[in-house]
A and B are shown apart, each in its own frame.
Chain A
Amino acid sequence: MIVLGDRLPDLMSDELRRTDTVYDIIVSGSHLYLVCGDKGMKCFTISY
């Protein structure tokens, strides 16, 4: 089972909107990041 959990504070900006475009995805340890270009990254927890 993989659980995508709470959204954490964004990196670089806390103003990212849900509709901001996403260019890449990174999974590292217990975090998942959505790369939104130069606006920053949305960050989520992830657990297994």
Chain B
Amino acid sequence: MSDEGSPHEKDGNTVWVSCPACAAWFHVTDALVDRGDVALRCPQCQASFLPGEAREIIRG
């Protein structure tokens, strides 16, 4: 379900990425993920990877 479905149900507004090296979660903007060509940097282990290489991406 989404906010469009019911104006009173809460959904998120953030994209969470799981690092392929250490599995730590960190959040990024939609625009950064959507570009696809800018490497993300894990704040936990400093690994650098493209969005397509992420262990998992969850859009809230």
Whether chains A and B associate is no
| Chain A residues packing against B (C-beta within 8 Å) | none
B residues with a Cβ closer than 8 A to A are none
